Structure 1
Amino acid sequence: MDLKQIHELIKIINKSNIGEISIEDKDGKVTIKQKEEAPVTVAAPAPQVYTTMPQAPAAAPQAAPATTPQATPAAPAAPAQADNLITVKSPMIGTFYRRPSPDKPVLAEVGTEIAPGKVVCIIEAMKLFNEIESEISGTIVKVLVEDASPVEYDQPLFLVKP
């Protein structure tokens, strides 16, 4: 087998999904292997931010139908307070951590001022620790998830007052 034939084989292998080929003839044996691609690192998407309505007032009229007339005036007051809060949600499934390591301080707690790009928590997914950065400016009003607990995609993590 001459060099030109080997080059043609390499081109064919590169265009196909074949990982390895061995050809043997009277002149010798040639083995061509595709180069393995480097592992792909996927960056976590930035957290999506949504405003939410409190769920407690909706549950109160259902739990006590006899007090519905009294609960109706209270219901508009609660959303007025929560209308200005923004929810920071989990961009992935994983384990939520409030600190980068056990001996480090908490990244974000109630009263912490955050700005776009500031790391607010860590989510571990498949042994990768992903820093979750804020997309908004404001003050954290409430942490909705316990440290080292599992979180789902789009699960609320923090309430932020802009």
Structure 2
Amino acid sequence: MKPQEIQELIDFISKSGLDEVNIETSDFKIAVKKHSAAPAAPEAPRAAAPQALPHAPAPQAPAPLPAEQAAPAAPKASDESKRYKEVKSPMIGTFYRSANPDSPSFVNVGDTIKAGQTVCIIEAMKLFNEIEADFGGTIVKVLVDNASPVEYDQPLFLVDPA
């Protein structure tokens, strides 16, 4: 596998919501884990890493943000999680915002929803399940991209119940 193919695989896995993937062929074996203490490394034979030229400048790391800029982000996230309620996925499947590609989305940011209103569809094993809101409020954010895989209990929408 080429490094670009490995990166594309990692990007796909991170978007899919899977926690672990193992791939093994006659040429190589690779294990990718999300949220692991130690990074997974491919067990395939590797080519030598390119050497830096003696006259090339060393790459510089980006400067860290001052503590004043980084600190306000934490309280905002905790305030947001307390103020908003989440509509969560009741199953594993594929998330769709509309009934079909030609139809408008069930809900959009800024829409007011009522308890029992259909907010999306989740396809599981070729069955299309309408997902209804358990409470009313205003859609603040759509947390999942259309046609993306979702896990059980994964937040799909943030709703302001006020």
Deviations 1:55-108 (A, max 9, x none): xxxxxxxxx987346544553355334421111111100010000122222101
Q: Report SS of the residue matched to 1:83.
A: helix
Counterpart residue number, 2:99:
100
Counterpart residue number, 1:127:
126
Distance 2:125 2:73 in 1: 45
> Structure 1 residue 143 and structure 2 residue 139: aligned?
no
Gaps of 5+ in 1: 1-63
Distance 1:135 1:71, change over 3 A: same
Distance 1:66 1:102 in 2: 42
Equivalent residues in 2 for 1:73-88 (5 A)? Answer: 75-88=74-87
Counterpart residue number, 2:110:
111
Counterpart residue number, 1:21:
none
Deviations 1:3-51 (A, max 9, x none): xxxxxxxxxxxxxxxxxxxxxxxxxxxxxxxxxxxxxxxxxxxxxxxxx
The TM-score normalised by the length of structure 1 is: 0.54
The TM-score normalised by the length of structure 2 is: 0.54
Distance 2:65 2:102 in 1: 52
Counterpart residue number, 2:20:
none
Match for 1:160: what amino acid? V
Higher Rg: 1
Distance 1:102 1:138 in 2: 26
Match for 1:113: what amino acid? T
Higher helix share: 1
Equivalent residue pairs, number: 100
Distance 1:149 1:74 in 2: 27
Which deviates more from structure 2 when the two are superposed, residues 68-77 or residues 122-131?
A: 68-77
Counterpart residue number, 1:14:
none
Distance 1:77 1:119, change over 3 A: closer
Moved over 3 A (4+): 64-75
Distance 2:146 2:65 in 1: 39
Counterpart residue number, 2:13:
none
